[in-house]
Amino acid sequence: MATTLQDTRVSTVLDHMYTESKNQMSRLRERVSDFNRPMTTAERTEAMSEFYIPVTPEAGRLLYSLVRATRPTTVVEFGMSFGISALHLAAAVRDNGSGRVVTTELSDTKIAAAKKTFAETGLDDVITILEGDALTTLQSLDAPADFVLLDGWKDLYLPVIKLLEPQLPTGALVIADNASSSDMKPYLDYVRDPANGYTSFNFLVREGDSMEISCRTDD
């Protein structure tokens, strides 16, 4: 039986988005110095409003498989961008037959594009976009977060997961992308300390970068 990831509407959109992402890389490298200056979250969001910076196709399939296996009722994503990760998560939710994806994004440009993409793929009915600062919008989450993907600004991973902790049941999975980033140290120190209620390990997803996969052991 074909999966939703193999649905022509979804696979065609994902192929297009990954192609666009590759085409952007040279322009992104040219502008890297622009992003190294101190900026507010809003300024960073605006500066990156045209760039994808997605999970790899392999990491996307990993996310899909983990959601299929764990069958979460609510998947929470911090940092939607243009929606590549959300499509993988939503495809898994659709194939599970139940559940929803709640994703967050600050960029108006990316929100508008993602809404169009989600409708085009037919997955918009299982995706809720919380528009604005995630540290504010996630306070409205009214259900246990069984599965969490952290894929936004790395220095916000720790405050985001601490905000979500009251909603994390025992056994919840937390996936943090770009674990090799220097901004990740506070987060990694936290989830790798068993006293904080996680069992955590690192998983290489591309050359020079990885995901941190953490299981909530206490609630």
Which DSSP letter does residue 105 get?
E
pLDDT in tens, 75-132: 999 999 999 999 999 999 999 999 999 999 999 999 999 999 999 999 999 999 999 9
**Which residues of the chain fall below pLDDT 70?**
28, 30-37, 219
Rounded Cα distance between 57 and 204, Å, is: 13
pTM score: 0.93
The neighbour count for residue 46, using CB atoms within 10 Å, is 15
Tally: H helices and E strands in the chain: 8, 7
Domains of the chain, CATH where assigned? 4-15+50-216 (3.40.50.150)
Work out the angle at residue 154's Cα, subtended by the Cα atoms of residues 32 and 58, and round it to the nearest 5 degrees: 85
DSSP assigned state of 54: P
| Amino acid 219: pLDDT | 65
